[in-house]
Chains A and B, each alone.
Chain A
Amino acid sequence: QKEVEQDPGPLSVPEGAIVSLNCTYSNSAFQYFMWYRQYSRKGPELLMYTYSSGNKEDGRFTAQVDKSSKYISLFIRDSQPSDSATYLCAMSGGGFKTIFGAGTRLFVKA
């Protein structure tokens, strides 16, 4: 079993849809949870960074962490074609270095 599981997709949605991206993990020591966005032929860039359980909102993006279920989510409201990218979840803490999910490819159709 991988430490972090993430559905690779691809996920295809129409413009304006609400997108839900998810990861599950197995190590209960993780405390810091991140979402990175990676455009084609570019490096990952940090999108959201949260500590412990709860929600964090930034514009159209909301990150949720449920440590009891070892489950994290990223919601994108009013999705745009410019949101088309690969989204990587990542987590760290408890003395463990950052571990990444394999990434979910998202396509938003105009």
Chain B
Amino acid sequence: NAGVTQTPKFQVLKTGQSMTLQCAQDMNHEYMSWYRQDPGMGLRLIHYSVGAGITDQGEVPNGYNVSRSTTEDFPLRLLSAAPSQTSVYFCASSPDRLNSPLHFGNGTRLTVT
């Protein structure tokens, strides 16, 4: 049972480049979400999904897109990378949207130069 798997672990981008961060879970969880973690600011919600085909914005969605074509996968796309998007990105899943604890992946460390 792998839980939540994120790839890649590390990535360096130049300003303006685009990329996709991958997230997959094998727990059949309906709810999946993306967070970014910055020093002193905690985890901030970027986008989330309550099931295949359904996505919504979180607290800091600008510059990011998501889609959910299957229950297992929830990729995060950076459209045109900016230095302000340098951060550690975590994908998380849970059985439901609100009251169940989240299961996290081990993160993707992204640097935008």
A binding-site residues for B, Cβ under 8 Å: 4, 6, 8, 31-32, 34, 36, 41-46, 49, 88, 90, 92-93, 95-98, 100-103
**Residues B98 and A92 in contact, CB atoms below 8 Å apart:** yes
**Residues B45 and A44 in contact, CB atoms below 8 Å apart:** no
**Residues A8 and B90 in contact, CB atoms below 8 Å apart:** no
- Give the complex CA separation of A13 and B98 in angstroms: 35
On chain A, the residues within 8 Å of B41 by CB distance are 102
Q: Can you add 16 more A-B contacts, CB < 8 Å, to A31-B99, A41-B109, A97-B45?
A: A6-B42, A8-B40, A41-B107, A42-B106, A43-B4, A43-B90, A44-B102, A46-B103, A88-B42, A88-B43, A90-B102, A92-B99, A97-B48, A100-B42, A100-B43, A102-B41
B binding-site residues for A, Cβ under 8 Å: 4, 40-43, 45, 48, 58, 90, 92, 97-99, 101-107, 109
On chain B, the residues within 8 Å of A103 by CB distance are 42
Contact flag A44-B90 (CB < 8 Å), given A101-B42, A102-B41, A102-B42: yes
- B104's partner among A8, A31, A44, A102 (CB-CB below 8 A) is A44
On chain A, the residues within 8 Å of B92 by CB distance are 43
Q: How far is the CB of A49 from chain B (nearest CB, A)?
A: 5
On chain B, the residues within 8 Å of A88 by CB distance are 42-43
**Residues A32 and B106 in contact, CB atoms below 8 Å apart:** no
On chain B, the residues within 8 Å of A102 by CB distance are 40-42
